[in-house]
Amino acid sequence: MNIAILGTGGVGRTIASHLANRGLTVCMGSRSADNPVAVQWASTAGSNASHATFASAAAASQLLFNCTSGQASLAALQSIPAADLSGKILIDLANPLDYSSGSLRLTVCNTDSLGEQIQRACPGARVVKAFNTMNAAVMVNPALVPGPHELLLCGNDPAAKAEVSALLSTWFGWQHILDLGDLTHARGMEMLLPAWISISQALGSYHFNFHIAR
């Protein structure tokens, strides 16, 4: 399986490196073919690591991780021809965070979500919202946080969710995965972010996760 990591930030690099280290073929996509961060990453991540534009990375891959920043996600995905997204699983990790006013706000919430916007913009993709509620180090190593804690996900395609659950369990060791239902539940998953940030400030740490005690 060839995997496209869309985005060159800390989340994208963490997942890309982890998958390349496992021997998977990983292409890091960005706006330009010569993005210096992507060039640097590919040059140090092994022979199965490469970099390309968003469109070329998607065309070469069967599975996509959207690790772009939330405000850049739609433009990034709309730069990919529909045929190169059609039928492919797109794991959406992005959060619609906006700090431009000096404090946090979400650019979309409550009656819509970034996950739903992405699915509408890319109707042929099989969007699964996942991983947006934790730090990248926890995504690829859930054992970093002791005890049980959950990977939340949602999406409109049950088969895509089942495949994503199996892959994230295999690749990263996720044991507790809670499927919240269709993609409208991305609203709640993205609206967890303000509390996540408050909690990280209160704890002075990013190495935590929500556990649904029951």
Applying CB under 8 A, the residues found at the interface with its own copies are 103, 105-106, 109-111, 145-149, 152, 154, 178-181, 184-185, 187-189, 191-199, 201-203, 205, 207-214
Q: How far is the CB of 113 from its own copies (least distance, A)?
A: 10
Q: How far is the CB of 175 from its own copies (least distance, A)?
A: 13
Q: How far is the CB of 42 from its own copies (least distance, A)?
A: 34
Q: Which lies closer to its own copies via its Cβ, residue 84 or residue 179? A: 179
Residue 173 and residue 199: Cα distance in Å, rounded?
24
Q: How far is the CB of 125 from its own copies (least distance, A)?
A: 22
Q: Which lies closer to its own copies via its Cβ, residue 9 or residue 194? A: 194
Three-state secondary structure string covering 56-88? HHHHCCCEEEECCCHHHHHHHHHCCCHHHCCCC
Listing DSSP states for 97-119 in one string gives EE-TTSS-EESS-SS--HHHHHH
Q: Which lies closer to its own copies via its Cβ, residue 47 or residue 147? A: 147
| Residue 86: C-alpha distances to residues 90, 145, 183 (Å) | 10, 36, 18
Q: In the sheet that 89-92 helps form, which strands lie side by side, from edge to edge?
A: 49-53, 25-30, 2-6, 63-66, 89-92, 126-130, 151-155, 177-179
Q: Write the DSSP symbol of residue 101.
A: T
End-to-end CA distance of the chain: 37
Q: How far is the CB of 167 from its own copies (least distance, A)?
A: 20
